[in-house]
A and B are shown apart, each in its own frame.
Chain A
Amino acid sequence: MRKSLVLLGLALAIPTAVLAHHGWGSYDAANPITVQGPIETLKYENPHAQITVKTPAKVWIVTLAPTSRMQVRGAPAEFLAVGKTVSAYGYPSTVEKDEMRAERITVDGKTIELR
């Protein structure tokens, strides 16, 4: 009985599919970058708001903070309206291509800390 339980446990524990994932430990804090350009899309959603920012080189996915924190710190959805120019300082993802996590963002001369 116990042996079959152990075997069952092992079978369950072996990940069935290792796909790309999105974790908070997976950002390269040693190599901060600044991404600047117009906001192309805005997802003002939990657990983290996300914008895409067009730069001459590529379109970045910029991961922000939970929406409640954004609101408290003065960055409601209107602050990040599509078309506005944003400057995002943060860390590139080591897992997801063209994605970065923003430490702070500046829009209309106003800087919001996101951590």
Chain B
Amino acid sequence: MLHEAPQLLMALEQSAFASGIRQSTWAYMTANVGHILALMLFISAVAIMDARLLGAFAGTPPGGVVRPARRCAALGLLLMALTGAALFSAEATHVASNPVFQIKASLIGLGILNAVLAGRLIAAAVDRTPAFTPLPTPVRACAMLSLSIWFATAACGRLIAYF
């Protein structure tokens, strides 16, 4: 596995797709700007969703906030994955061996795992919680975990360039 991974990454980096991104004047730039814009969509939706789960905007029933915010977050995550894949493939071998990227990739895995596992728990709790009522502790814990994971992920993303 350890010996195969670098070869796979090398093949990705040498693919027509990756060299096209490197050789185009605008492709890498566009993916980079797109990644930041997708991050804004994603983190704003996540922040609204998690803030509501933690007890902010208590006057609005949680379902009306959490469901649309979750869909926005999913769209943001998809756009981040697409732009991120373009950025990654252009420099696959260097980026993959960067320790901060490895932490970031792990955090993304944890964040998605948390979102999927907490999804059903949150959906059920949100449906039976009216306005001005705190959500159950496990739901709030998942929201706190989500916020922490995604902010740490964003920090790691920027820090890749410095390690």
Contacts and interface: CB of A to CB of B under 8 A. Distances in A.
Interface of B is mostly: helix
Contacts, number: 74
Contact of B90 (A26, A44, A46): A46
A23 B163 contact: yes
A21 B98 contact: yes
Interface residues of B, number: 33
Contacts of A46: 21-25, 27-29, 90
Given A22-B94, A45-B23, A15 B99 contact: yes
Nearest to A19: B97
A15 B25 CA distance: 33
B161 A24 contact: yes
Contact of A25 (B6, B105, B109, B161): B161
Given A20-B97, A47-B22, 19 more contacts: A8-B113, A15-B99, A15-B103, A17-B2, A17-B6, A17-B97, A18-B97, A19-B6, A22-B98, A23-B98, A23-B162, A25-B163, A26-B163, A45-B19, A46-B22, A46-B24, A66-B29, A68-B29, A71-B25
Interface of A: 5, 8-9, 12-13, 15-26, 44-47, 66-68, 71
18 contacts: A5-B110, A5-B113, A8-B113, A9-B106, A12-B106, A13-B103, A17-B2, A17-B5, A21-B98, A23-B98, A23-B163, A25-B163, A44-B23, A46-B24, A46-B25, A46-B27, A47-B28, A66-B29
